[in-house]
Structure 1
Amino acid sequence: MANLNLIGLETEKARKIAEQLNFLLSDLQIYYQNLRGFHWNIQGPEFFDLHQKFEELYTVTAEQIDEIAERVLALEETPFHSFEDYIINSGIKAKTGVHDAKVAVETISSNLKNLIIREKEILKLASDAQDEGTASLVSDMIKMHEKNSWMYRAWLK
């Protein structure tokens, strides 16, 4: 029992999960900022629809960011909280100067793919550690991100 943390997980497994959650937190922060930029800068005939859709996406993403940071804390680790940390640790790259709808949606689609891959890696770690809290949180995110991925791929066709 000495190697269990306060929520009953093996300390080392919880640390590894928190580390991966911090990488996901970094990905989500860059994804969020990309969405904000697309929302602000989109131009063209799709402006009204995409401006609103991008706002919906970044609002949900802000909630996910908070949930991931709080889960890192529940695992007794410290969530990343600087843009320097996010930039260094994200597999998603910041996209600037995007005004074109197609480029914005292609970027969102690519970002979602990266998020889903990272989330599935965390889901496996959480399942192996019997960390139902993290598994449930990440599983819900996977479901949402897979649905959004399909929708944005459909928009691109």
Structure 2
Amino acid sequence: MVNNKEIIEKLNSLLSDFQIYYQNLRGFHWNIQGREFFELHAKFEELYNDTAVKIDDIAERILTVEGTPIHAFEDYLSTAEIKPVKNVHDGETAVKTIIDNLQSIIAKEKDIKETAGSLDDGGTEDQMSAFIEEQEKTLWMYKAWLK
């Protein structure tokens, strides 16, 4: 079993980003207003439900490689590259933030995938590949919505 400090640190950083992304999505879901309310309210719920599953998957992967997933919000805030956003009510700002957050997450996942590959950690590499494939499609869809 891989027990690599670098992988654990990178996965914990990704976990932190996902936690902030999740909270951003919850805020968008709760606070969205305007003509796209029904469409976006449902879409944001889909995204945060999917994100909650990914958060659990990442934490379990950290445990699998014999690490400890960080689990305090102060640690998430100090580790995450994604920043919390507050009081977003319009769809365009929410979607632009989702796109920015996903682009940051995907870049981090690609880095983790590359590191995992170089360390012969196929499980982490496969997990990142699956996340990237799904999120790139989500990114494309939200970019299309903005046009």
| TM-score clears 0.5 | yes
**RMSD (CA atoms):** 0.6
Runs (5+) with no aligned partner, structure 2: none
Runs (5+) with no aligned partner, structure 1: 1-6
Secondary structure, in 3 states, of the residue corresponding to 1:115?
helix
Secondary structure, in 3 states, of the residue corresponding to 2:136?
helix
Structure exhibiting the larger radius of gyration computed from Cα positions: 1
Secondary structure, in 3 states, of the residue corresponding to 2:62?
helix
Provide the residue aligned with 2:91 in structure 1: 101
Q: For residues 56-135 of structure 1, what are the structure 2 equivalents within 5 Å?
A: 56-135=46-125
- The reply on whether 1:147 has 2:137 as its aligned counterpart is yes
Q: Distance in 2 between matches of 1:84 and 1:138?
A: 25
Taking only the aligned residue pairs, the percentage that are identical comes to 56
- The reply on whether 1:44 has 2:34 as its aligned counterpart is yes
Provide the residue aligned with 1:4 in structure 2: none
Q: Runs in 1 of length 4+ with deviation above 2 angstroms?
A: none
TM-score (norm: length of structure 1): 0.92
Is the CA contact (8 Å cut-off) linking 1:15 and 1:75 kept in structure 2?
A: no
- Displacement after TM superposition at 1:64 (Å): 0.2
TM-score (norm: length of structure 2): 0.98
- Displacement after TM superposition at 1:107 (Å): 0.2
